[in-house]
Structure 1
């Protein structure tokens, strides 16, 4: 009779120890997660709060709190009114460059990665190694050769000077090649060929459905890269009406900083920075649904 409580107590003791160790591990991970969250959230919080202040409030109030006056709507109106509302044109340019570049880059990377993963042809290994090596080349090192190439074709200071380089994504090709090698089973392709389907139809009806999460991943990477691109538009474009938001806001910032702030544009530039990231956040949250659902579906099938 007395052995039963002892055994129960012993069992309870055995069950407590792993829980305690698990709590210690989760505490460390929780601290790391919160540090990471603060690292990303604090600058965004500072930007949001700065858009609610006027130029004087930016320098007289605490950065992570509101100023004496709430000037967000005034800053917003000034943003779209300054220089005849050219910021709206910059925003439309950025959306056009990013959408065309990311969709085109995702399409080309998907086709190229799928071909390298599922077809065997002479020189495929060399092509893949060249693409892999090009990932290691910094984009700044390619800026001057790209400019000279486009200048020879009279394409500088045109939207094509931004769109065409954005269509090339070596990392996207590498990612889709690795993803397609595992996501698309060779037996499915063989079954489709036996049924009489052509290669393009197999790619369109079979492969694309399985490559969805990879396509969205490449799309997001290229969308962010093109949206935040600064150096290439800076050297390619001279006409302000072709500027993306990054270059346009940099010009305003330089005008504000020149001569001790001859043009007081600090609150306008900060408001423009905030407005410019809102479409990117919306696009990421919208595409993330398909990304996560595709990954979950692949995990269930696995």
Structure 2
């Protein structure tokens, strides 16, 4: 892989609650090169979301505390960067696609109000001046990019008026508004039916390729990993236990935990499971 845009080095995080301290991340290291598609995969509770929130500066301290390591974005350590500068990066050069649209969208404001407000904040952080009409035009442009028909109608709609798949597209549009270099996607489409989820994942993959973005996909779904990523980090109990190019990992997993994840994937009798012949059932 090429030089990393994002480089996490020996990151350790602990939580202290009710007088007890637990280490949640243990010397986590991972790289996301520019223009690459990288996945961080593991079961629920493995530490994926804590890693993502630490990168984005979204962990509450206390109870969380970074005890070691560094997070380098374009060569600069986010953990030692002044808060104002880090805030300027978040939502502009680094953007998030969250997994739950209904908790990320405000039900009392229209989609247009929410998108233009986000764009206004991004413009202010970047020192960019744009009129209200220009912001609305940019919102319509991004809604078209995420394949939303009739952007004018969508901007006047409230979240409750849209389907789950449409709301997920709105979250992707929010992340793209400021033209970021790095996109972190946290289990996008998890709550959707499989057909809509496949459409959302294809859209996301098409967009990051079209815009030349780096993508870090946070997921527990190995099918998502295979469809969206070229390199995989496997996390278990707060540690990276294996990391390899996607094709190599599925063809010949080395760590017992990775093998157990692949073995847990449902399969059809007589079919194949990620390149391995499926055993015939008795």
Into which bin does the TM-score normalised by the smaller protein fall? under 0.3
Higher Cα radius of gyration: 1
Higher helix fraction (1 or 2): 1
TM-score, with length taken from structure 1: 0.21
Higher strand fraction (1 or 2): 2
TM-score, with length taken from structure 2: 0.22
